Structure 1
Amino acid sequence: MKEIPVKLWLFIMAMTVIKLIIASTTALGNDEVYYWTYALNLQWNYFDHPPFVAWLIRATTINLYIHNELAVRFGAIISSTIGTIIVYKTGKLLLNARVGWFAVLLYSSSFYCSIIAGTFILPDSPQMVFWLWSIFLLLKITRSIQLGLPTLSLWCWFGVATGLCMMCKIHGIYLWVAVVLFALFSNRKLMVQKGMYVSALISLIIVSPFIIWNIQHHFITYTYHSNRVSLFHAGINPLAFAREISGQIFYNNPIVFFLAWIAIFSFIKTNHLLLQSEIRLLLCCALPLIATLIFLSIFRDTLPHWSGPAYSCLIFLSALKLESISLSKAKAIIGASMLFFLFVVSAGLITINFYKGTFSPQKGSKNLGAGDPTLDLYSWKETGRIIDSIYRLDKSSIKNKPIHTIVITKWFPAAHLDFYVCAKTGLHTYGIGEIFDLHQYYWSNQTKQELTVGENAYYIVPSNLYDENSLNFIKSQFRNCTAPIIAPIFRNGVICKNILIYRLTGYRR
């Protein structure tokens, strides 16, 4: 760590303060709180993803002892810090310390790298550590081959890094795609490297538990994801394509995004001789994933943050491009990128916590706030307090049969109810419905008290997530469903959404 300059440590500390503020002042999002439920029951794989994010949350919450947003997200902040150091070392390895510093600033001004994966807890959070470590190792391997140095130990570590990357998110397989492409089209010497085959074996051993899990569960994860991106019976979807492109631009920071593509075309045009092999390697690590997602988005909905790891590779090309221009221009570009980042983050925090009411056009009591994404990160603690008070009143009434269960039909807002309501009240969620709606809840039922015939329950949904079809399905499963208790949630003095609480009696099964 002696080679890390003081200014980098100071910068990391400043960015950490920003992330701690965000992590402490916003509720967990739909995905984050769902991944927290993974940590309740550790497994080798889950419906949506491999297990590393569950292990990380279990660690940062001290085996689930600490129950707050910061503890759940702390692993993402730690991962981002480690990733930042790797970015610096990679940039320095490519050319010099200034390239490393430029890469750090660009990396930190990316919303994907600093916020989506660097503050919010997602499988992407630990994935980025192992993805960046893998890139660093690949560059070292390339340099070592050029210099005639031994590479076996580097290949072994690469096998560990890529294996752990795939245990975070299956996107890590694209690192091996990059190795194959680079070996076939740029550096045939890799094909005779024994270390590459040892590395592949190490990766396979690391991911074998999650492969076995999928075999045992009929590859449900990939059945689900293939349905999401299947091209069969799918026509051209220009809206999905537009969302993917615009998402890539915004999530990676528009300045960082366009600088990356300018760097790509610049290096292709000039055929940079000094770092030709390294540039080709970085392109092999980035372009296949980006191209795959853009192609899929022509037909089906995709999520723009899936391309985040690929753009992290292009950040190094951007840093090299900045090194090739005047220092004043480089500082101006980086300054604009950081200012835009800080403006958006500040505006987002203010909007989430202080916007008056909701900017959703839906104003009915049952669908108030629909389509307002800021509400997923707001008021869940208050929701827990409201439901706890209603539950206590219901328990104190002799007339009422005891209720132990909140029935759910979808994984969201089920996970929010688990984290903010069930942990407070002692109730538990129980999923009824289809596996592709319930996701991991389809199996978590096995660890919970079964809903029995004749039992009473609650059905609870915020108005911004209200779905008439789900309610009708719930009603069909019970003899009676009361009119909802409607509890308003205020933001800056104006109602932003309602919490709808239905009492259900007589489960039919």
Structure 2
Amino acid sequence: MKTIPTKLWLFIIAVSLLKVIIASSIALGNDEVYYWTYALNLEWNYFDHPPFVGWLIRITTVNLQIHHQLAVRFGAIASSAIGTLIVFKTGKLLLNNRVGWYAVLLYTSSFYCCIIAGTFILPDSPQMVFWLWSIYLLIKITRSINKSLPTLNLWCWFGFATGLCIMCKVHGLFIWFAVLLLALLTNRNFFLQKGLYIAMFISLIMVSPVIIWNLQHHFITYTYHSDRVNFFHSGINLLAFAREIAGEIFYNNPVVFFMAWAGLFGLFRQKNQRIKSEINVLLFCALPLIGTLIFLSVFRDTLPHWSGPAYTCLIFLSAVKLESFPAPKAKFIIIASLGFFLIVIATALPLINFYKGTFSPNKDTMHFGKGDPTLDLYGWKETGKIVDSVYRSEQLSGNTGHTMIITKWFPAAHLDFYVGTQTGLNTYGIGEIYDLHQYYWSNRFKQKLATGENAYYIVPSNLYDEKDLDFAKKHFKNCSAPLILPILRNGSLCKNILIFKLKGYKKQY
């Protein structure tokens, strides 16, 4: 760490403090609270993803003793800080300190790197540490092979890093695909490296628990993800393609995005022979993933953040290109990138927490606020207090249930985190596995519903779907009219909380 400048440490501390403010000031999102439920029951794999994010949340919440959104997100903030250090060292390894600094500043101004994976807790959060570390090691390995230097130790660490990357998210397999491309297309000496096969063995051993779990569960994780990207029965979907491209531009910051592609196309005009092999590493780690997702988006809906790791590789190309610019021009681009980032953050936080009412034009009581994305991050603490008050008053009558029936994984996880922990109510999943996800199996850790037992069905109006309620009602003798309670934002109604009382659970055969 002696090679890390003091100003970089100060920069990381300052950015981390900004992230702490953001993480503390807005509620957890749909995905975040869902990944928190991973930490409740640690397993070797989950319905959607490998287990690392659940392990990380279990650590940062001190074995679930700290029930606060900052504790849940702290692993993302710490991972981002470590990732920033690796970005600097990689840029420095490529050329010099200035490239390292440019890479750090572009990395920090990327919404994916700094916020989506760097403040919000997702499998991407720890993945970015191991993805970047793997890239760094692969560059060192490539350089060592070209110089006929020993590589065995580097390969062992590479196998360890890629194994951990895959234990975060299956995207890590693209790094091994990059190794195959490097060996086949640029340097056949890779195949002569005994360290390569040792690294493969290390990665395979590390991810074997995930493979075993999927064998035991009929490869449900990959069945689910393959269904999400299956295009054989789909027509051309230009809207999905447009969303993917627009999402990549915005998530990575427009300045960072266009600099990344400018850096890439600049290679064809003026190749830097000094780092040609290292550039190949970055290209083979980036382009297959980006190309795969763009191709899939022509047929199916994709999520733009899936390509985030690939763009971190292109950020290094951007930094190399900036290093060739005159200092004033490079400075202007960096300021534009950071400035756009800060403007969006300074605008988004007040909108989420203080916008008066809702953006949604839907003012129907049962669907109030529908379509307003900011409501996923607002009003959940208030929901917990409201439901707790209702539940306590009904306990006095002695005719209340102790369970919240859920039919979808969201808002089930929000109910678990913000309502269940305050009231003592449990969630109990009813429905198909592709609707419930991990909740399909979580019932085994909970007390089963007894015949004749009462329960609650709780949903915010912006997420209310009558079909879901009708499905839940089929499992009970009757259902009361909803208790409709308002959630206010800056003094105006933004959504309602709908509380249905389900009476007389019918035994299922």
Taking the aligned partners of 1:187 and 1:253, their CA distance within structure 2 comes to: 34
What TM-score results when the alignment is normalised by the length of structure 2? 0.99
Distance 2:503 2:331 in 1: 65
| Amino acid aligned to 1:78 | A
Q: Distance in 2 between matches of 1:274 and 1:227?
A: 43
Q: Which residue of 2 aligns with 1:472?
A: 470
Q: Match of 1:155, SS?
A: helix
Structure 1 CA distance for aligned equivalents of residues 495 and 319 of structure 2: 44
Question: After superposition, what is the alpha-carbon deviation per residue over 1:352-378, rounded to whole angstroms, capped at 9, x for unaligned?
Answer: 001011101211111111111111111
Code of the aligned partner of 1:444? S
Name which of 416, 419, 423 aligns with 1:418.
416
Matched position secondary structure for 2:23 = helix
Deviations 1:178-224 (A, max 9, x none): 00011111111111111111101100000000100000000001111
Select 1:428's aligned residue among 415, 426, 429: 426
1:272 CA displacement: 2.2
Distance 2:495 2:268 in 1: 52
| Cα distance, 1:436 vs structure 2 | 0.3
Give the aligned residue type for 2:444: Q
- Give 1:2 shift: 1.5
**Counterpart position of 1:488:** 486
Q: What amino acid is aligned across from residue 412 of structure 1 in structure 2?
A: F
Cα distance, 1:232 vs structure 2: 2.0
Decide which moves more: 142-151 or 203-212.
142-151
1:290-344 CA deviation, whole Å, 9 max, x = no partner? 0000000000011000000000000000000000111110010000000000010
Residues 102-117 of structure 1: pairs in structure 2 closer than 5 A: 102-117=102-117
Separation in 1 of the partners of 2:384 and 2:271? Answer: 59
Q: What is the match of residue 453 of structure 1?
A: 451
- Find the counterpart in structure 1 of residue 374 from structure 2: 374
With normalisation by structure 1, the TM-score equals 0.99
1:234 aligns with 234
Aligned 1:320-331 pairs, distance under 5 A: 320-331=320-331
Counterpart of 1:365?
365
- CA distance in structure 2 between the partners assigned to 1:258 and 1:316 by the alignment: 13
Is 1:47 the counterpart of 2:41? The answer is no
* AA partner of residue 145 (structure 1): I
* Deviation sequence 1:14-47 (CA, Å, 0-9, x none): 1011100010000000000000000000000000
One-letter code aligned to 2:165? C
Residues 1:151 and 2:151 aligned together: yes
1:385 aligns with 2:372: no
Q: Secondary structure at the match of 1:459?
A: strand
Q: Secondary structure at the match of 2:365?
A: coil
CA distance in 2, matches of 1:281, 1:16: 30
Structure-1 separation of matches of 2:185 and 2:223: 32
- Mean Cα deviation higher: 63-72 or 261-270: 261-270
Report the CA distance between 1:6 and its aligned residue: 1.3
Give the structure 2 partner of residue 86 of structure 1: 86
Distance 1:368 1:152 in 2: 61
Partners of 2:274 and 2:267 lie apart in 1 by 11
Other structure's SS at 1:294 match: helix
2:253 matches 1:253: yes
Aligned sequence identity (%): 71
Aligned to 2:312: 312
Alignment of 1:205-220 (within 5 A): 205-220=205-220
For 1:176 and 1:269, locate their aligned partners in 2 and report how far apart those are by CA, in whole Å: 29
**Is structure 2 residue 276 aligned with structure 1 residue 269?**
no
Q: Indicate yes or no: 2:171 matched with 1:161.
A: no
- Extract unaligned runs of 5+ from structure 1: none
> Residue deviations 1:109-162, cap 9 Å, x none?
000000000000000000000000000000100111122110000000000000
Return the offset for 1:71: 0.3
* Equivalent-residue separation in structure 2 for 1:190 and 1:230 (angstroms): 33
Partner of 1:30: 30
The answer to whether 1:279 aligns with 2:279 is yes
1:200 aligns with 200
2:406 is matched with which residue? 408
Runs of 4+ residues deviating >6 angstroms: none
**Aligned length in residues:** 507
For 1:368 and 1:65, locate their aligned partners in 2 and report how far apart those are by CA, in whole Å. Answer: 35
Read off the aligned partner of 2:464 and give its amino acid letter. Y
Deviations 1:203-259 (A, max 9, x none): 000000010000000000111111111112110001110110000000000000000
TM-aligned CA deviation for residue 268 of structure 1: 2.0
Residue aligned with 1:406, SS: strand
Q: Following the alignment from structure 2 to structure 1, what is the Cα–Cα distance between the partners of residues 170 and 191?
A: 24
Matched, 1:349 2:349: yes
Q: Secondary structure at the match of 1:423?
A: helix
Instruction: Provide the residue aligned with 1:300 in structure 2.
Output: 300
Q: What amino acid is aligned across from residue 477 of structure 2 in structure 1? A: R
